[in-house]
A and B are shown apart, each in its own frame.
Chain A
Amino acid sequence: MIEKILRGKPAYWMWLAFLGSFIAIGAACYARQYLFGLGLTGMSRDVSWGLYISQFTFLVGVAAGGVMLVLPYYVHNYKVFGKITILGEFLAIAAIVMCMLFIMADLGQPLRAVNVILHPTPHSMLFWDMCVLIGYLSLNILCGWVILTAERKGVHPPRWIYFFVYLSIPFAVSIHTVTAMLYCGLPGRHFWLSAIIAPRFLASAFAAGPALIVIACLVLKRVANFDAGKQAMDKLVTIIMYAAMLNTFFVLLEVFVGYYSNIPGHKHSIEYLFFGLEHHGHVYNNLVPFMWTSVVLNFSALGLFSLPYVRRKNEFLLGLSCVMIFLALWIDKGLGFVFAGFVPSPLHEIVEYIPTLNELGITIGVWATGFFILTVLYKIVVGVEHEIES
């Protein structure tokens, strides 16, 4: 099946070259960071995690989102998703590779990463996160490959693979739960110290992942003549809507708890995100425009989704809504959630985080790598699909 990667239209090669140039930029930036140290980033003593970890957190969600296709198809035998379930599995692969690259980019001593395995530490959530991420990655590679191969041969997949398919479902939930536990078990970080973080992560994941798949389906329909089917898209949009609404609900609950309890620690980060936080006569409000953009995008997308015209008739608007909800969730989780947790610092100082160009270069490079992998994997899927049809 690999050979399918090597044959494509000029547009395919141009897209890969486009991504490749960003990968090259990312690699160059990483080389600089590797030689100098993480001082080349905007992170500081007080905001000790930045874009890398926030992108990691968001992408774990995208990876887990693939389960919203696997579960209906395999557990509820929802045949409509038959053609696109593999897209969910391959999206998970690309997303987890990005996660791992972001973690590596964030380590001060990347060559020692293997210490996590050499000195397994069950009381550290990072150890468990590594275990479930590697597990989920392997499961998706295995299931995706075996099922696609069977499809190509026109036979039923071997029965043993279903064990791994079913296993991948709790794994999908676990990767994002454990990622939430990186944050929600830390004393003294009020914004993160909330039992709703894991459900909130899952809700936003189950919206962001499928949104990306809808976008991918719309693109594939244009450029590769791959039609996922109207009914499948419609169902995906329903899933996105419910998940995004749940996420919004959870966020509003956090706002209620903060403001009604009136406990400063619970309010500060929310205040910082949405209104700016005053400290010694200075108002810190870097993230305010982003957060309100997220709010507007979130509600507009939900509004658009609710129109049957958008869902079923106008693919442009459908794609746009999916991009909007994806961006909204990316800002919410991929920026705001991680950065605001460090504000204020344990010593009640406020330090704002602004990523550097070098850091942005690495970040874009990793995203480009992910999309490169995704493109190549989807190329295989489309190729196999066309082979079966002809």
Chain B
Amino acid sequence: MDKQRRNFLKIASVTALAGIGAPALVRLTSTAAVASEHVAAAGHAPAKEKAGAHGEAAPKGVRLGMVIDMRRFVENPRLLNNAIAACNLVHNIPQIDNSKSEIKWLWKAPFTSVFPEQSAYHAAGNVENTSFAVLCNHCDDPPCVRACPTQATFKIPGNGIIAMDYHRCIGCRFCMAACPYGARSFNWEDPRPYIKKYNPDFPTRMRGVVEKCNFCGERLALGQEPACVEACKGTGAMVFGDLNDPKSEIRRLLDKEFTIQRNASLGTKPSVFYIV
């Protein structure tokens, strides 16, 4: 099972580190992608897509996504901290202790913040008192990409990751105004002095550019799982995979459990799902 997943990840990965130089991509030819295309073409698009937004196009290619199972995080309160620490470490995320300038890729927020459009009236105790994991949704129809005037934020065609080119970003912050999920952070000053432990395998950022979760594109390229997913290994708290592949673990989970996305009414088609 583990091997199977690793294989898939290899297939759905990019060769270039998102964010280093130009977005050099390799066209993906994966059996997984072919399989899902085949299913769609045969008119057996799984019920999930049909039941979604009206007329959502038949899935094509690989679309990476994540399911966050909050029940597992409630069972194990330390788990989310571990996942956040893993992401911070792997991505050289500066620890700026100041809500004005902080940089956040994966962080905690209460239900009412993460799902402001949902009612929390007489919500169950575990919803009220739980910190939810928040990260970029890697929207299938991302407003940040639409807004960016330089294509420094772009969608990787092969896997649906919304990636960034830190060397092209002009720091206009139009994408921050456009993202309806508050997923983006701006480097208001040089972040390097705030990096606790430097990881030479991932670029640090300069001041004046925007950044956010990249779905660990650089790790996928090496056949590794996202760092946060790896930190939750064996618990099922974070499940990562191809939303368009009916045989993937994430799809089996989605088919089985009732999930919600953050403010899906905006038409952004978030690829991160929550089991509350």
Q: Mark B169-206, 1 if CB is under 8 A from A, else 0.
A: 11111101111111001111110000000000000001
A45 contacts B99, C-beta separation under 8 Å: yes
Indicate whether A121 reaches chain B with its CB closer than 8 angstroms.
yes
A108 to chain B minimum Cβ distance, whole angstroms, is 2
Indicate whether A10 reaches chain B with its CB closer than 8 angstroms.
no
- State the majority secondary structure of interface residues on A: loop
Question: CB-CB < 8 A to A48: which residues of B?
Answer: 173, 176-177, 186
Question: CB-CB < 8 A to A45: which residues of B?
Answer: 99-102, 104, 176, 182, 185-186
A37 contacts B150, C-beta separation under 8 Å: no
- Could you tell me the distance between the alpha carbons of A98 and B211 in the complex, rounded to whole angstroms? 29
Q: Mark B155-171, 1 if CB is under 8 A from A, else 0.
A: 00000000000001111
Question: CB-CB < 8 A to A182: which residues of B?
Answer: 174
A344 and chain B: residue at smallest CB distance: B116
Indicate whether B261 reaches chain A with its CB closer than 8 angstroms.
no
Binds A, one of B38-46, B83-91, B107-115, B217-225: B107-115
B172 contacts A106, C-beta separation under 8 Å: yes
A294 to chain B minimum Cβ distance, whole angstroms, is 23
A189 contacts B209, C-beta separation under 8 Å: no
Question: CB-CB < 8 A to B59: which residues of A?
Answer: none
Q: Mark A28-60, 1 if CB is under 8 A from B, else 0.
A: 000000001111010111101100000000000
B213 to chain A minimum Cβ distance, whole angstroms, is 15
Question: CB-CB < 8 A to B185: which residues of A?
Answer: 45
- Could you tell me the distance between the alpha carbons of A127 and B187 in the complex, rounded to whole angstroms? 23
A53 to chain B minimum Cβ distance, whole angstroms, is 9
- Could you tell me the distance between the alpha carbons of A345 and B177 in the complex, rounded to whole angstroms? 10
- Could you tell me the distance between the alpha carbons of A346 and B266 in the complex, rounded to whole angstroms? 12
Question: CB-CB < 8 A to B178: which residues of A?
Answer: 186-187
- Could you tell me the distance between the alpha carbons of A342 and B188 in the complex, rounded to whole angstroms? 17
B103 and chain A: residue at smallest CB distance: A45
Chain B interface residue count, Cβ-Cβ cutoff 8 angstroms: 48
Question: CB-CB < 8 A to B266: which residues of A?
Answer: 187-188
Known contacts A37-B189, A37-B208, A346-B179; A44/B170 CB under 8 A: no
Indicate whether B246 reaches chain A with its CB closer than 8 angstroms.
no
Which among A37, A126, A341 is the interface contact of B207 at CB below 8 angstroms?
Answer: A37
Binds A, one of B3-11, B13-21, B141-149: B141-149
Indicate whether A125 reaches chain B with its CB closer than 8 angstroms.
yes
B148 contacts A124, C-beta separation under 8 Å: yes
B99 contacts A347, C-beta separation under 8 Å: no
B147 contacts A126, C-beta separation under 8 Å: yes
B274 to chain A minimum Cβ distance, whole angstroms, is 14
- Could you tell me the distance between the alpha carbons of A115 and B113 in the complex, rounded to whole angstroms? 35
A37 contacts B172, C-beta separation under 8 Å: no
Q: Which of A293-316 contact B (CB under 8 A)?
A: none
- Could you tell me the distance between the alpha carbons of A369 and B177 in the complex, rounded to whole angstroms? 28
Indicate whether A142 reaches chain B with its CB closer than 8 angstroms.
no
- Could you tell me the distance between the alpha carbons of A342 and B171 in the complex, rounded to whole angstroms? 18
Question: CB-CB < 8 A to B150: which residues of A?
Answer: 112, 115-116, 118-119, 121
A188 contacts B112, C-beta separation under 8 Å: no
A36 and chain B: residue at smallest CB distance: B189
Shortest Cβ-Cβ A-B pairs, 4 listed: A108-B171, A188-B180, A108-B208, A39-B188
Interface residues, chain B, with chain A CB atoms under 8 Å away: 99-102, 104, 109, 112-114, 116, 134, 143, 146-152, 168-174, 176-182, 185-190, 206-210, 263, 266-268
The 22 sampled A-B contact pairs (Cβ below 8 Å) are A45-B99, A45-B102, A45-B104, A45-B182, A107-B170, A108-B209, A109-B206, A109-B209, A115-B152, A121-B149, A121-B150, A124-B147, A124-B148, A130-B149, A186-B147, A186-B180, A187-B180, A188-B266, A345-B182, A346-B181, A347-B113, A347-B182
User: A45-B99, A49-B173 given. 12 additional CB < 8 A pairs?
Assistant: A37-B190, A38-B171, A48-B173, A108-B169, A108-B187, A109-B206, A109-B209, A112-B150, A112-B171, A187-B178, A346-B181, A348-B116
Interface residues, chain A, with chain B CB atoms under 8 Å away: 36-39, 41, 43-46, 48-49, 103, 106-110, 112-113, 115-116, 118-119, 121, 123-127, 130, 182-183, 186-189, 341-342, 345-349, 351
